[in-house]
Structure 1
Amino acid sequence: MDFEPYRAELVAYCYRMVGSFHEAEDLVQETMLRAWRARERYDASRASVRTWLYRIATNVCLTALEGRARRPLPSGLGAPSDDPEAPLTPALDVPWLQPFPDARFEVGIRADMRLALVAAMQTLPARQRAVLVLREVLQFSSAEVAVQLGSTVPAVNSALQRARAALAEAGEAVDPAEVSEPDDPKVREVIERYMRAFETADVPALVRLLTEDAVLEMPPVPLWYRGGHDYGRFMRRLFAMRGTGWALRRLRANGQPALAAYVPEPGGGHRPHTLQVFTVTGGRIARNVVFADSTVFEAFGLPDRIP
């Protein structure tokens, strides 16, 4: 019995559940191990292999999430800052939401993988989260989800309604039509212009690419900023500290355009600085989530130095 064809979609599922790419890989490995040990008890007349694997993965995720704090983004923890000189002190005690490296697994460009939506999902109780993803994203029937969760169809439908209401209240919904895809020509143009402005430390050019209420957040630093004015003030501080001559590489994360930013070193070459994930709407950048975590670069397979 070959389970490998399902690995990519299971990693994406576990990522939506726990908000961590590395942990999702570990949970899928545990799922595969449990499935292999139970393969003799599998009954093809009761469920497909895929449905059976999702039942195991769901149980693995729910067990892992017991008593666990949710993984947030900084904007989910408090009000925005208006001080561009605030100390950039990482909050290492917070289990921050991590980005998903699209190139590692062929799961397609999916609106339901957006960082803001995954962050909103983390606020749901674990079983509601599972129902939402299994029903809304993966299109399992209520009856199939009831079996996977050891529940009933009415309970599944009720949990789905509560999850939908919670996401609607948070301003998030699984609506692909509202999301600009990374390969859209207009999106590519915006990101190209942002790259040129960033590499030359041209703050006015950066700000012109933003929506009026654009958000900048930087896990594991708990600070975040809203609006082009404060965004620009913070970027001036960054470039004053780091200078010009940056090198950037285009990527894709969570079905969104992303950039790996490398800062120049005094002796030559560039070292990793941040990975930036963008939300583009209406031809403008509405959100930039900037990850300054070495484990993120590792997950994306990025070099630790470029010439």
Structure 2
Amino acid sequence: MAKSGADRAREDVLRAAARFRPELLAHCYRMLGSAHDAEDAVQETLLRAWRHADAFEGRSSLRHWLYRIATRACLTALERRAGAPRLEPLPDLMLAGPDGGDPAAVALRRDGVRLALVVALRRLPPRQRAVLLLRDVLAWRASETAEALGVSVPAVNSALQRARERLGRLPDGGGEEGSAPLDPRRRELAERYARAFEEADAEALLGVVRADVGFAMPPEPLRLSGAAEVVAFLAERVLPGGPDRFRTVLVSANGGRPAVAGYLRREDGVHRPYAVSVLEVAKDGIAEVTAFRDPSLFPLFGLPPVPDGPAAGPSGAGPSEAA
């Protein structure tokens, strides 16, 4: 049976959209702050694009059209949320994609998903957040942003001004700027941090963190500052139990940041997923630790349910599955 024009249009759009999937995921993550929610928003974006493919007339680029759909999907998700939105790390594994000859897209994805940036954006109301991202991160014109959000240009300019005033400036994210993912120096520091947990060695932790290290554990309102305070907390709350209470795996998150996935030994003696800690690393030590106690993150990083088990498959369905 011959395919209709609408069916062919849907197939063409989904095939072409595949190369934009990673950057759409990064955009949705900046909007939502959650890897799980960002993945859901991208799936919704592709589904809407599939449904309305015959309405795409090429007056704007496919990329802009998809971003418009994704932004509106994120705004809808934020409106439907109950309570405070969750914050999660974004595995670099989820950002891999066929970028071809567009290194700028890779750079924007990597730089635009830093935890410091995502945390700062969460201080903005959803629509101001969308305007700031489209205008200052993606460099869209005011008219393009207004069309994407269904508002006037003056409304966009007003929202952008309020967002800039509220944030002051976008954070630089700390750490070593321009470093490749898990470069040798940062890998060494991350490995020493992970080994200190496996050996329950508080002194080793003191030797790898900076004097002004910060520590946070979302969604708890905990915020610690300084090596003495951070290591004392970990020594009292996390390290008791001796060596081999934790087993660790080094992964990468939020645009090349080292992250330590920790498996905790349970009462039956089996190590199971416990937490993922994203590290900001400077030349002289670990500057920031953000720990996420959420076992559901492990499959997103392709990690098995037990150490040394078979790895999980990459997260996320392909564009063709959105239909």
Q: Which residue of 2 aligns with 1:10?
A: 24
**What is the CA distance between 1:58 and its match in structure 2?**
1.3
DSSP-derived class of the 1:241 partner: coil
Structure 1: gaps of 5 or more residues: 70-92
Matched, 1:229 2:228: yes
Distance 1:278 1:145, change over 3 A: same
Which has the higher mean CA deviation after the structures are superposed, 21-30 or 237-246? 237-246
Distance 1:150 1:20, change over 3 A: same
Number of residue pairs the alignment of both structures matches: 282
Q: Which residue of 1 aligns with 2:94?
A: 104
Structure 2: gaps of 5 or more residues: 1-11, 98-105, 309-323
DSSP-derived class of the 1:183 partner: coil
Q: 5 Å matches for 1:1-307?
A: 1=12, 2=15, 3-44=17-58, 46-66=59-79, 68=81, 94-106=84-96, 108=106, 110-168=110-168, 172-173=171-172, 178=177, 180-238=179-237, 240-245=239-244, 246-255=246-255, 256-265=257-266, 269-306=270-307
Q: Which residue of 2 aligns with 1:89?
A: none
**What is the CA distance between 1:181 and its match in structure 2?**
4.8
TM-score normalised to structure 2 length: 0.78
DSSP-derived class of the 2:168 partner: helix
Question: Partners of 1:17 and 1:110 in 2: how far apart?
Answer: 15
Question: Partners of 2:62 and 2:76 in 1: how far apart?
Answer: 21
Q: Which residue of 2 aligns with 1:72?
A: none
Q: Deviations over 1:256-299 (max 9, x none)?
A: 11011123456655322211101113432121111111222232
Give percent identity, aligned residues only.
46
**What is the CA distance between 1:175 and its match in structure 2?**
9.0
DSSP-derived class of the 1:303 partner: coil
Q: Deviations over 1:201-239 (max 9, x none)?
A: 221221232223212222344433221111111121145
Question: Partners of 1:34 and 1:140 in 2: how far apart?
Answer: 22
Question: Partners of 1:181 and 1:251 in 2: how far apart?
Answer: 14
DSSP-derived class of the 1:274 partner: strand
DSSP-derived class of the 2:259 partner: strand
Distance 1:278 1:237, change over 3 A: same
Which has the higher mean CA deviation after the structures are superposed, 55-64 or 181-190? 181-190
Runs of 4+ in 1 over 4 A off after TM superposition: 173-181, 265-269
For the 8 Å contact 1:190–1:209, the answer to whether it is kept is yes
Distance 1:159 1:174, change over 3 A: farther
Question: Partners of 2:110 and 2:126 in 1: how far apart?
Answer: 21
For the 8 Å contact 1:271–1:305, the answer to whether it is kept is yes
DSSP-derived class of the 1:234 partner: helix
Question: Partners of 2:175 and 2:167 in 1: how far apart?
Answer: 15
DSSP-derived class of the 1:110 partner: helix
DSSP-derived class of the 2:278 partner: strand
For the 8 Å contact 1:111–1:176, the answer to whether it is kept is no
Distance 1:283 1:152, change over 3 A: farther
Question: Partners of 2:69 and 2:174 in 1: how far apart?
Answer: 28
**What is the CA distance between 1:193 and its match in structure 2?**
2.2
**What is the CA distance between 1:132 and its match in structure 2?**
1.7
Question: Partners of 2:182 and 2:66 in 1: how far apart?
Answer: 32
Distance 1:120 1:36, change over 3 A: same
Amino acid at match of 1:259: V
**What is the CA distance between 1:145 and its match in structure 2?**
1.6
